[in-house]
Structure 1
Amino acid sequence: MWNYLWIPLLISFSKELSAAKAQSTILLPTGTGLEEPMMSPSCSAADPKLNFRPVIGIVSHPGDGASGRLSNATNASYIAASYVKFVEAAGARVIPLIYNEPPEILYNKLNLVNGVLFTGGWAKSGRYFDVIEGIFKRRMMQEIHFPLLAICLGFELLTMIISKDKNILESFKASDQASTLQFMNDINVEGTVFRRFPPNLLKKLSTDCLVMQNHQYGVSPERFGEYKELRSFFKVLTTSADSDNKVYVSTVHAHNYPVTAFQWHPEKNAFEWGLSMIPHSEDAVQVTQYVANFFVSEARKSLNRPPARKVLENLIYNYSPTYCGKAGKGYDEVYIFAQPSAL
């Protein structure tokens, strides 16, 4: 008798199990299930207006990135590997633009790239300043699509160059500091670096400390507004505050050119570990990826198609990075370039 009572229960359980399996079935994109053979998909042709092999030029910075502990060569310069990985993660290759190599070589390399990145650092005068200014002005004078991304020192140098005032920078206490980004009230992110950020991540940028600051100088919104040249070239997207709650401009985007500049470091979240306050959360790493994707997507619009052999001869793959994480706080890896003699 008791055995017969279990039969309805078993039937009910069997039906529920079958229903659960049906709900968990993963359908292929055709929606026909697994029982039908897959047909070979027809891939659409690549957009001929886009360059799917973009190359980014990164300008080297004086020194070895570790205060001489890695190289004491007088003419050494370096590129932090994090900038290279940042570009590569978005689908581009890198050619180093060694700032103190002969000008004819440097500018020939500039003709091989689809965009340029100005890195962080400390150099604000001399040959390095002249090279940054020369690259910026040369590309702005040409009527071609040529994206430029300037980070930290790069941001500061652009404000000096565009304002024509080498004393424009103010002091701020924002070394080894994670911060938020406060968006300007009337800003429209369409067409800017923030255009692809999902709404929830944009919101978190203003509430969570997702960006890395590491600078002692900057430009306040008030000082920025005093210069007609800056206002006519850039629109301010965000501001941030230092440890004394002093506000500075943290993100700008050019009105009429594909030029974006950050006072913060988008590359560090995913690729640097030497400073204690670098954000490494999933949201922070997404910030790195969205910025890199934006920059390289702009480089794909470049019409420059240099000879493939010339590109291969100058790629950063021809150099080896040096691990410097044990040499002190700062970068984890750097590419070091030493010129044979003073020029």
Structure 2
Amino acid sequence: MSNVAFSAFVCLFFVCCSRAMPTALNQEAVNERPVIGILTQLVSDDVMKPFGRTYIPASYVKYIESGGSRVMPIRLTLTTAEYENIFKKINGLLFIGGAADLEASDYARVAKIFYRLALTANNAGDFFPIWGTCMGMQLLTVLVAGENLLANTTAENIAMPLNLTREAHSSRMFQGFPDELMKTLTQEPLTGNFHHYGVIVETFQENEKLQNFFSVLSTNVAENGAHFVSTIEGKRYPFYGVQWHPEVNRFQWDKKLNFPHSPHAIQLSSLLAEFFVNEGRRSLHQFDNPEEEASSLIYNYTPIYAGNFTGYEQLYFF
């Protein structure tokens, strides 16, 4: 090879490589070992009381794990100082569905502590996401509004498509969703609903605190004709809520219940789990040492089969 040809080869090589490899990464730090906290739910059914005071359906745990995170169960019997310490270690928080007083219960008390910690942290540039499912979304509206604005929006054991708003197509939650799935989401019953209460659209629009805090990404119509908010996203904060249950699409199978199991329903559940866990990856909170981390995770508990007395295949009790 002549010197001229060699020089041209070298030049071409470096031109190609300069295009293939960025000169600087210039990207924000990412936590590749996230831990999402799940706030335990109060046991209210008599058949469940012999097993523990609080519980987490295994479907929520599997949902978070499927997105690439580990799970820390958070009990309702700790002190404020202990919750503050936990907050410094986890990378996000999930409020699950269930039944509890959203203003006076221990569930509401503990949620309020974490909500205030998350507000303060995000205001200081310390990224921390929160997700609320069903009653968890209702709880987020109570925390933001400072009052309970729920009304009868019964949609019990019904799978429905979503009425997406204009904000949905520019949202963080649905960013990157395939166009086909976004279209299908408005046509096929991909979202399982199991609730009696929610926030009516008109109530949301008339409440300044909710309007300023959240964008409405979707709405639905209840059995009584009430038009309710079904998906929300924080405008300034990484807080998200769905009145429906994305975890059931892949992890609950009771034939008496209308759990969507179509390919599109599975895809929806998968993408949302990955979305929220990726939000958690942006949090750099961490445990003080590996031993403390290991002792805090859900792996230390064994779920029990509960299909004979609940709608869940498995439950963790605490």
> TM bucket by the smaller chain?
0.7 to 0.9
Cα offsets for 1:136-167 (capped at 9, x unmatched): 1111112211011111111111111211112x
CA contact (8 A) 2:153 2:200 kept: no
TM-score between the two structures when normalised by the length of structure 1: 0.80
Letter in structure 1 aligned against 2:299: Y
CA contact (8 A) 1:112 1:310 kept: no
Q: What are the residue-to-residue correspondences of 1:125-164 with 2, within 5 Å?
A: 125-142=104-121, 143=124, 144-164=126-146
Q: Provide the C-alpha distance between the structure 1 equivalents of 2:79 and 2:145, rounded to a whole number of angstroms.
A: 28
The Cα shift of 1:48 comes to 7.2
Q: Provide the C-alpha distance between the structure 1 equivalents of 2:251 and 2:61, rounded to a whole number of angstroms.
A: 10
**Residue in structure 1 matched with residue 63 of structure 2 by the alignment:** 86
Letter in structure 2 aligned against 1:226: E
Aligned length: 289
Q: Provide the C-alpha distance between the structure 2 equivalents of 1:191 and 1:240, rounded to a whole number of angstroms.
A: 18
Letter in structure 2 aligned against 1:296: V
**Residue in structure 1 matched with residue 94 of structure 2 by the alignment:** 117
The Cα shift of 1:109 comes to 2.3
**Residue in structure 1 matched with residue 278 of structure 2 by the alignment:** 297
Q: What are the residue-to-residue correspondences of 1:39-188 with 2, within 5 Å?
A: 49-63=29-43, 67-72=45-50, 76-124=53-101, 125-142=104-121, 143=124, 144-166=126-148, 168-184=149-165, 186-188=166-168
Cα offsets for 1:210-246 (capped at 9, x unmatched): 0011100001110001111001100101001122332
The Cα shift of 1:99 comes to 1.6
Q: Provide the C-alpha distance between the structure 2 equivalents of 1:247 and 1:62, rounded to a whole number of angstroms.
A: 29
Q: Provide the C-alpha distance between the structure 2 equivalents of 1:188 and 1:72, rounded to a whole number of angstroms.
A: 43
Instruction: Give the secondary-structure state (helix, strand or coil) at the position aligned to 2:257.
Output: coil
Q: Provide the C-alpha distance between the structure 2 equivalents of 1:109 and 1:164, rounded to a whole number of angstroms.
A: 24
Which stretch of structure 1 is more off in the superposition, 98-107 or 223-232? 98-107
Q: Identity of counterpart residues, as a percentage?
A: 34
CA contact (8 A) 2:131 2:239 kept: yes
Unaligned runs of 5+ in 2: 1-20
Q: What are the residue-to-residue correspondences of 1:1-343 with 2, within 5 Å?
A: 49-63=29-43, 67-72=45-50, 76-124=53-101, 125-142=104-121, 143=124, 144-166=126-148, 168-184=149-165, 186-274=166-254, 275-307=256-288, 308-328=290-310, 330-337=311-318
The Cα shift of 1:191 comes to 4.4
Q: Provide the C-alpha distance between the structure 1 equivalents of 2:80 and 2:116, rounded to a whole number of angstroms.
A: 15
Q: Compare CA radii of gyration and give the structure with the larger one.
A: 1
Which stretch of structure 1 is more off in the superposition, 271-280 or 314-323? 271-280
Instruction: Give the secondary-structure state (helix, strand or coil) at the position aligned to 1:173.
Output: strand
Q: Provide the C-alpha distance between the structure 2 equivalents of 1:244 and 1:207, rounded to a whole number of angstroms.
A: 21
Instruction: Give the secondary-structure state (helix, strand or coil) at the position aligned to 1:265.
Output: coil
Instruction: Give the secondary-structure state (helix, strand or coil) at the position aligned to 1:82.
Output: helix
Change (3 A) 1:318 1:254: same
Letter in structure 2 aligned against 1:288: S
Q: Provide the C-alpha distance between the structure 2 equivalents of 1:191 and 1:250, rounded to a whole number of angstroms.
A: 14
CA contact (8 A) 1:196 1:290 kept: no
Unaligned runs of 5+ in 1: 1-41, 338-343
